[in-house]
Structure 1
Amino acid sequence: MKNSYRFFENRECEYYPCHKGIDHLNCLFCYCPLYSRKHCPGTHTWIEKDGVAIKNCTDCTFPHEPENYPVIIEFLKHPEK
């Protein structure tokens, strides 16, 4: 498979599919490596709990879309300022 290092789909996972509406769900970034970033290319919202802002990525599918692999890698190469 061409570029197979960029894609991994675990259909045996008890949570698969964790997001609806994606034909080929990339599980490589099951836990998003950009979660700790205040600014990321995914769609997220902020919720407040006990006076603390928490990033809510529940509806974000960005890290699970195979074509976004190079974007994530570029973000990881550069620390957030």
Structure 2
Amino acid sequence: MENSYKYFKNTDCKYFPCHKGLSDDFNCLFCYCPMYSMPNCPGSKTYIEKNGKKIKVCTDCTFPHRPENYDKIIQILIRNNNN
């Protein structure tokens, strides 16, 4: 897949690939997930408790790194921004 506004792959990143088990079309565009602060994001997440605080853990989530989810993420962000 070619780098574009919907897709970016950074193989020079020292953390690449940050998630195992994804195809060659690993999308780095949303390296920091824009849905992290959303409690009902569509990704696979777990929660841990540390110092009495509930912390979202997205280590096993690959949703934002799948190229086919770009449009879904944008729609979620638009919907969330309008609320």
Please show how residues 38-53 of structure 1 align to structure 2 within 5 Å: 38-53=39-54
- Runs of 4+ aligned structure 1 residues displaced above 6 Å come to none
> Aligned-residue CA RMSD in angstroms?
1.8
Unaligned stretches of 5+ residues in structure 1: none
Structure 2, unaligned stretches of length 5 or more? none
Deviation string for 1:10-41 (max 9, x for gaps)? 00111111111111110000000000001100
TM (norm. structure 2) is: 0.89
Per the TM alignment, residue 50 of structure 1 is displaced from its structure 2 partner at its CA by 1.0
The answer to whether the Cα contact below 8 Å between 2:8 and 2:29 also exists between their aligned partners in 1 is yes
- The alignment covers a number of residue pairs equal to 81
Taking only the aligned residue pairs, the percentage that are identical comes to 59
1:62 counterpart residue number: 63
Q: Which amino acid in the other structure matches residue 37 of structure 1? A: M
CA distance, structure 2, for counterparts of residue 55 and residue 35 of structure 1: 8
Q: Whole-Å Cα distance in 2 between the matches of residues 57 and 2 of structure 1?
A: 26
